[in-house]
Amino acid sequence: MKKRTGVCGAWLLVVASSLMSARGALSQDVGAAPVREIIKVTERLYRFRETRHYGVFLVTGNGIVVVDPISTGVATWLKQELSKRFTQPVRYVVYSHAHSDHASGAAVFSDTATLVGHAAMLGNMQPPAASAPLTAREKLWDRNTDGLVQPDEARGTLYEADFKRWDRDGNGGLNRQEIWAVRFEGEVRAPDITFTDRATLRLGGVTVELMHLIPNHTDDMTLVWLPSERAIYTADFLTPNRLPRTDLDGGILPGWVEALRQVEQVDFDIVVPAHEATGTKAQVTEQRRYLEELVAEVQKSMRSGLTKEQTIEKVRMEDYAHLLEYEMSRAANVRGVYEILQSMQD
């Protein structure tokens, strides 16, 4: 979804810090050289970054575990950096979920590594037929009920901005397959090992716990828990100190709230997210409260008969105005919850 220029390798630490604001990070997505860096978080845990995206790696005495390779370009760069700094090979690549902006590129490590992800990734990676029906939520957008989402119907959605690019058959409307491609198409290699509920990786005396969460941002989401570092890694469904992105496209309710509650039960101190700065356990609770209150407010508004537009006007969530991207995502979050709840009624 982002244009990658291929200019790489620069350790732009000063530039990196100046791009940490949400608006800065967004505005330099297109056209600018990617910012790449490696940041130590705990004794064994590091983040690696490309601009807005972060993955992590854990270094043990007997090998390295990489989580979310991001892209083939990032994975290639990371592999070089790891070989300069450490003698251990990458033994595992773990996927948080199948979205291609996090999961692409693991093939770079497959000479030494086993790829691990949740079983639902396999289904999500399969492109649907072009003639497959739209999802319940996409049907809400499809006002002329022709089975496609035209530009006027895509207004305000994730598919508005690059519409022509995703409309591959050029028929002026996005079918289910074209919509799927926006999130899932990429250089994603299927996991070698899948799990359904929990899995434990043991390497060099260190344990990595993989926990499938109640369906939230996607249905294939893995929480990566690193007990030795007192840390968790979370992608997209939980970004501390920031609103969930835009209109919660593909999101699942009330599972998303319940998944955040699951995370609150885990024993850790540091949240290391796939976007933005690291956070605290208290910020997990703040996220859960935000989403829980948002859903309750939108439900109340729907029950009193307000339209989607009236609900967007009414539900301000001002207690959370201090969170990053409040201005950008508040209205879209309200619309998203409204549409998800509406699509569940049909």
Positions that interact with Zn ion (CB under 5 A): 99, 236
Q: Residues near 222 by Cβ (< 8 Å), separated by ≥ 6?
A: 94, 95, 96, 97, 117, 118, 210, 211, 212, 213
Judged by DSSP in three states, 40 sits in: strand
**Angle at the Cα of 149 (from 146 to 150), degrees rounded to 5?**
95
Tell me the closest approach of the beta carbon of residue 263 to Zn ion, in angstroms: 16
Q: Is the Cβ–Cβ distance between 230 and 190 less than 8 Å? A: no
Cβ closer to Zn ion: 36 or 99? 99
Cβ closer to Zn ion: 203 or 284? 284
What distance in Å separates the CA atoms of residue 231 and residue 76, rounded to the nearest whole number? Answer: 26
Q: Is 334 left (phi over 0), alpha (psi -120 to 50) or beta?
A: alpha
Q: Residues near 26 by Cβ (< 8 Å), separated by ≥ 6?
A: 52, 328
Tell me the closest approach of the beta carbon of residue 111 to Zn ion, in angstroms: 27
Tell me the closest approach of the beta carbon of residue 99 to Zn ion, in angstroms: 3
Cβ closer to Zn ion: 44 or 99? 99
Tell me the closest approach of the beta carbon of residue 301 to Zn ion, in angstroms: 27
Cβ closer to Zn ion: 99 or 212? 99
- Beta-strand (E) ranges in 134-186? none
CB atoms within 10 A of CB 161: 11
Cβ closer to Zn ion: 102 or 176? 102
Tell me the closest approach of the beta carbon of residue 120 to Zn ion, in angstroms: 13
Cβ closer to Zn ion: 206 or 235? 235
Question: Nearest CA to 177 among 137, 128, 218?
Answer: 128
Cβ closer to Zn ion: 50 or 236? 236
Tell me the closest approach of the beta carbon of residue 98 to Zn ion, in angstroms: 8
Tell me the closest approach of the beta carbon of residue 274 to Zn ion, in angstroms: 8
**Angle at the Cα of 67 (from 61 to 71), degrees rounded to 5?**
125
Please provide the DSSP assignment of 47-74 as one string.
EEEETTEEEEEEEETTEEEEE--B-HHH
Cβ closer to Zn ion: 229 or 236? 236
Residue in the shown chain whose Cβ atom is closest to Zn ion: 99
CB atoms within 10 A of CB 146: 10
Tell me the closest approach of the beta carbon of residue 97 to Zn ion, in angstroms: 6
